[in-house]
């Protein structure tokens, strides 16, 4: 099969579909009938066959259109993988014994430094495996509560991952007033509140936001003093990765934590946000900058590609590694302090890479997907 033919087949998107499978350092290419993908068992067998690993237990994953690494372990997600593959289906195979479950999920491909180094070179990365509770049931997080350790108990910082889901964010905000404690006593100040949740929307489905919750921050920027329209614009501008800090209207379901033993963050019961949060969150924000924005370029009417970053400055890498840390930890429910050493290596990895959706002209197609 020469390159031109493959390109044509890929862009036509009918009939057969190209599959590129990777196990360890080896690639296999083959094609599948798009209309009749068959069952997962058969596919699993086929993979074992083409990689000549008939008796090895493996985990199968694929990258979806957003660049996330998602598992294939039943007929449903197998069919989903086949139907969404465009133009080719990228498969990653790991041995079950050294599988890294944290590799799966949102932003996995952009966190490639550690994720992919784990996937590709499992043997040279001798870290302790995570405590595996079960296979991820939900393939991609849709929301999370973050920064629990640094926020006052009355506040909640919620991250909504619009990225990768078709669900609308699905909420409305309004103006209102809240009561603050000031040196002059109680004072009524204007505030922004959640006014409505759309049934079936992302916000409602998370259960983390409710009507009449007061919005305090949007992606680390305080909203006090800003108009409803400004806050609306800020939320929409951040809609692909929205982090909102709220004071829930219902304070009974707050996370009860022992702030004395958690160590890293002591100040928690003040009514205003601790001064350290903007910095920490600022780094989160920068992380989002790197991951949430992927503009698409179409060259000469070819295939759409993500626009790569030009060589980043050293500081952004630093901040990136720090965010990784936060991000990772919150995802797995750990406090960052326990994992600090885990990602130290990340800072030294060059960020430049080709996005793993090569158009027909990409010269790197047959090589590794990371350009170091």
Q: Which residues bind other proteins (CB under 8 A)?
A: 162, 168-177, 190, 195-196, 218-219, 221, 223, 226-240, 242, 289, 292-301, 304, 307-310
DSSP state of 105: B
Cα separation, 359 vs 30, whole angstroms: 18
In the complex, the smallest distance separating the C-beta of residue 232 from other proteins, rounded to whole angstroms, is 4
In the complex, the smallest distance separating the C-beta of residue 81 from other proteins, rounded to whole angstroms, is 23
In the complex, the smallest distance separating the C-beta of residue 227 from other proteins, rounded to whole angstroms, is 8
Residue 305's nearest CA partner among 237, 233, 360 is 360
Q: Which is nearer to other proteins, 135 or 307 (CB)?
A: 307
- Specify the 3-state DSSP secondary structure of 20: strand
Bond before 135 cis per omega within 30 degrees = no
- Specify the 3-state DSSP secondary structure of 54: coil
Q: Which is nearer to other proteins, 22 or 111 (CB)?
A: 111
In the complex, the smallest distance separating the C-beta of residue 370 from other proteins, rounded to whole angstroms, is 16
Q: Which is nearer to other proteins, 180 or 226 (CB)?
A: 226
Find how far residue 22's CA is from the centre of its chain: 22
Cα separation, 153 vs 156, whole angstroms: 7
In the complex, the smallest distance separating the C-beta of residue 309 from other proteins, rounded to whole angstroms, is 6
- Specify the 3-state DSSP secondary structure of 245: strand
Q: Which is nearer to other proteins, 48 or 286 (CB)?
A: 286
How many other C-beta atoms can be found within 10 angstroms of the C-beta atom of residue 134?
6
Written as six digits, the tokens of 96 are 């079950």
Q: Which is nearer to other proteins, 72 or 160 (CB)?
A: 160
């Amino acid at each position: 099969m020469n390159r031109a033919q493959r390109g044509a087949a890929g862009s036509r998107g009918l009939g057969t579909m190209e599959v590129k499978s990777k196990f360890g350092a080896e690639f296999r290419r083959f094609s599948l009938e798009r209309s009749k993908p068959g069952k997962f068992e058969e596919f699993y067998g086929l993979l074992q066959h083409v990689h000549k690993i008939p008796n090895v237990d493996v985990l199968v994953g694929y990258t979806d259109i957003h660049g996330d690494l998602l598992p294939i372990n039943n007929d449903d997600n197998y069919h989903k993988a086949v139907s969404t593959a465009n133009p080719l289906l990228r498969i990653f195979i790991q041995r079950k014994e050294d599988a890294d479950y944290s590799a799966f999920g949102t932003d996995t491909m952009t966190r490639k430094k550690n994720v992919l180094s784990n996937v590709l070179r499992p043997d040279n990365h001798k870290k302790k495996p995570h405590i595996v509770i079960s296979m991820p049931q939900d393939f991609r997080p849709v929301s999370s509560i973050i920064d629990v350790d640094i926020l006052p108990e009355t506040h909640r910082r919620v991250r909504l991952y619009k990225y990768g889901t078709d669900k609308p964010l699905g909420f409305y905000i309004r103006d209102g007033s809240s009561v603050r404690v000031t040196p002059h006593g109680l004072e009524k100040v204007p505030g922004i509140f959640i006014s409505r949740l759309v049934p079936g929307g992302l916000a409602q489905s998370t259960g983390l936001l409710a009507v009449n919750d007061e919005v305090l921050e949007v992606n680390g920027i305080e909203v006090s003093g800003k108009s409803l329209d400004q806050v609306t614009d800020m939320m929409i501008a951040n809609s692909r990765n929205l982090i909102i800090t709220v004071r829930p209207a219902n304070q009974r379901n707050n996370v009860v934590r022992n702030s004395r033993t958690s160590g890293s963050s002591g100040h928690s019961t003040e009514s205003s946000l601790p001064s350290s949060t903007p910095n920490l969150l600022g780094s989160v924000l920068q992380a989002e900058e790197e991951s949430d924005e992927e503009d698409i370029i179409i060259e000469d009417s070819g295939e759409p590609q993500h626009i790569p970053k030009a060589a980043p400055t050293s500081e952004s890498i630093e901040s990136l590694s720090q965010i990784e840390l936060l991000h990772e930890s919150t995802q797995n429910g750990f406090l960052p302090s326990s994992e600090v050493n885990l990602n130290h290596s990340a800072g030294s990895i060059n960020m430049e890479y080709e996005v793993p959706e090569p158009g027909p002209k990409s010269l790197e197609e047959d090589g590794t997907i990371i350009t170091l």
